[in-house]
Structure 1
């Protein structure tokens, strides 16, 4: 649930915080980064 590349910057902005958590693309990117560290 921690995609440091995308969610962390979004968490700084309260308005975008919900979007970051509810956005399936961001969740998917987080999973991909966990499976493929090379995309870091």
Structure 2
């Protein structure tokens, strides 16, 4: 475990999780915008 932490594994995992969370928020926002545009067509 010490060798993995010395190699930056914990930091790499934290960075990957942060990047995934950021991308998830971006995709959710884009999906909400796209859904809002389609509502007028359904009327």
Task: Give the alignment's TM-score, normalised by structure 2.
Answer: 0.33
* Structure with bigger gyration radius: 2
| Higher relative contact order structure (alpha carbons within 8 Å, sequence separation ≥ 6) | 1
Task: Give the alignment's TM-score, normalised by structure 1.
Answer: 0.36
